[in-house]
Structure 1
Amino acid sequence: MKKHIISTNKAPAAVGTYSQAIAVTGGTTIYLSGQIPLVPETMEVVEGGIEEQIHQVFKNLLAMCQESKGSLSDIVKLNIFLTDLSNFATLNEIMATYFTEPYPARAAIGVNELPKGVSVEMDGVMVTDSNSYSF
């Protein structure tokens, strides 16, 4: 299997031993690393509450999708991590503004803690129609 690393300054930079996204052989499946609500230009957590954090995470995912020559509608699996599951309804309301049917498969998981003390993190798998990368 060959891998193509995908990176953009329109989403937060990787701050550890990971890549922002990776396309695998064929270039049609892209694995998107977890995104937290960091503002890419400042690498600081977006100001505001859970709503602003969820919107920022979707903006960061969108930037990664676009850099990968796709869109949010190409995400087939989305994993969502929340530090407070009482925000589940808010998450669903906001997600409905970014996605239309058919929605991606999804998991929403309650966790004790996330990096930088944020309330939400998301990662995903995206599948595009064309071979976007040459290996």
Structure 2
Amino acid sequence: MKTIITTKNAPAPIGPYNQAVLTGNTLYTSGQIAINPISGKLVTEDIAIETKQVMENLKAVLGAAKMTFENVIKSSIFISDMNNFTEINRIYGEYFDNETAPARETVEVANLPKFVNVEISMIAVK
């Protein structure tokens, strides 16, 4: 059994997927990119601002499932340029306590949806 999680505080899906799916106590988020949910516009003028928008979108999705970043057990980060890693990692790290941070991989890819610079998905458990 699965429960679809949606919120207007994160960008609406642009294809045949949902913002997140809850099954049992486990939440699987779709990858979030830096779309401002209010304006619908991409926020890509600076990698720090872009990463912050991605994390705020994920925060909204987690909140819709009554979870926080404390519930996250795994993150997947996809970036278009490994030269942005340090700044992405810095912003990402502001949302976690180092002692309880989730497992994670960071992968450089050729392209991302809408040609953004970073996309992040998460798995969280209640």
TM-score (norm 2): 0.96
CA contact (8 A) 2:44 2:116 kept: no
Q: How many positions carry a matched residue from both structures? A: 125
Q: Are 1:86 and 2:83 counterparts?
A: yes
Structure 1 stretches of at least 4 aligned residues deviating more than 3 Å after TM superposition? none
Alignment-derived partner of residue 71 in structure 1: 68
Deviation at 1:49, TM superposition (A): 1.1
Deviations 1:19-65 (A, max 9, x none): 110111x3x10000000000001221015211111000000000000
Q: Alignment partner for residue 111 of structure 1, among 104, 109, 123?
A: 109
SS of 1:38 mapped into structure 2: coil
What's the counterpart of residue 92 of structure 2? Answer: 95
Contact 2:34-2:44 within 8 A present in 1 as well: no
* Larger of the two Rg values belongs to structure: 1
- Determine whether 1:123 maps to 2:121: yes
Structure 1 unaligned segments of length 5 or more: list them: 129-135
Q: Which residue of 2 aligns with 1:16?
A: 15
Structure 1 distance, partners of 2:44, 2:75, is 24
- In the TM superposition, residue 86 of structure 1 has moved relative to its aligned partner by 0.9
Give the residue type in structure 2 aligned to 1:7: T
Give the secondary-structure state (helix, strand or coil) at the position aligned to 2:31. strand
Question: Is there any run of 5+ residues in structure 2 with no aligned partner, and where?
Answer: none
Q: CA RMSD in A?
A: 0.9
The structure whose residues are more often strand, as a share, is 1
- SS at 1:92's partner residue? helix
Please name the residue that 2:6 is paired with.
7
Q: Does 1:41 align with 2:42?
A: no
Q: In the TM superposition, what is the alpha-carbon distance from 1:93 to its structure 2 partner?
A: 1.2
Q: TM-score, normalised by structure 1?
A: 0.89
Q: 2: distance between equivalents of 1:20 and 1:103?
A: 22
Q: Deviations over 1:70-96 (max 9, x none)?
A: 001111000000000011111221122
Q: Distance between the aligned counterparts of 2:69 and 2:85, measured in 1? A: 20
Query: Matched residues, percent identical?
Result: 39
